[in-house]
Amino acid sequence: MRKSKEEAEKTRRRIVTSSAAEFRERGIVATGLNDLMRAAGLTHGGFYRHFDSKEQLVAEATDEAQAAVIKRMKDAAGRGRTKSRSHGGLAAAVGEYLSIRHRDDPRDGCPLAAMGSELARAGAKTRETATAGFQNLVEILASEFQGIKPDRAKKRALVTTATLVGALTISRIVNDPTLSKAILREAVDSIVSA
């Protein structure tokens, strides 16, 4: 049954990746190791060959999810910038984050929005990871604010990121589709036209 080092490493990455999606879709506490291992195509017994505890997996899965969202935002901003409109990068990144697609697919989305209230109660390592991810998002947005001093841009980006996370979270809570869309649309408008 033993697998090669290379294969074992691939298995480990597969567990982290599929767990990152499961946690974002179902929540951290609500998702058991059984669910996670099954999602990775394994049985639960092998879990501790790869991780010390569920908490360690939570931290690594959060890290991977954050990295993916950061790449997604950078890519969107890059695409927006080439359109050479003023604030094109900002508008594209914000529009991507507050898209219907992002709202309806938490598995692939921002962990701060998908598991925010649970991250506030998570272990030290996970919160450290989440903090770093948040700061990365802030930097991406700050670099898209044109014509203002860097420290003003940073402060504005702090607030903008809070708006993004809050708007996406609430758009998922709300049971009225029109209201949900309006939250996303008005948040985009407000940020881009500020």
The residue ranges that bind DNA (CB under 7 A) are 1-8, 11-12, 31-35, 37, 42-50, 53-55
Report helix, strand or coil for 176: coil
Residues 6+ positions from 71 with CB-CB distance below 8 Å: none
84 binds, among DNA, its own copies, none (CB under 5 to 8 A by kind): none
141 binds its own copies (CB under 8 A): no
Q: Provide the 8-state DSSP code for 146.
A: -
Task: Specify whether the CB–CB gap between 65 and 25 falls below 8 A.
Answer: no
Helix, strand, coil shares, percent, the chain, to 5? 75, 0, 25
The one-letter code for the residue type at 65 is A
The one-letter code for the residue type at 138 is V
The one-letter code for the residue type at 6 is E
11 binds, among DNA, its own copies, none (CB under 5 to 8 A by kind): DNA
What residues numbered 15-34 form the site for its own copies, per CB under 8 A? 26-27, 29-30
Among 57, 92, 142, 167, binds its own copies (CB under 8 A): 167
Task: Specify whether the CB–CB gap between 73 and 93 falls below 8 A.
Answer: yes
The one-letter code for the residue type at 165 is V
139 binds, among DNA, its own copies, none (CB under 5 to 8 A by kind): none
- Nearest-approach distance from CB 42 to DNA, in angstroms: 4
What residues numbered 101-140 form the site for its own copies, per CB under 8 A? 106, 112-121, 124, 127-128, 130-131, 134-135
- Nearest-approach distance from CB 17 to its own copies, in angstroms: 20
Q: Provide the 8-state DSSP code for 6.
A: H
32 binds, among its own copies, DNA, none (CB under 5 to 8 A by kind): DNA
Task: Specify whether the CB–CB gap between 165 and 115 falls below 8 A.
Answer: no
What is the contact surface with its own copies in residues (CB under 8 A)?
A: 26-27, 29-30, 106, 112-121, 124, 127-128, 130-131, 134-135, 155-156, 158-159, 161-167, 169-170, 172-176, 179, 182-183, 186-187, 189-190
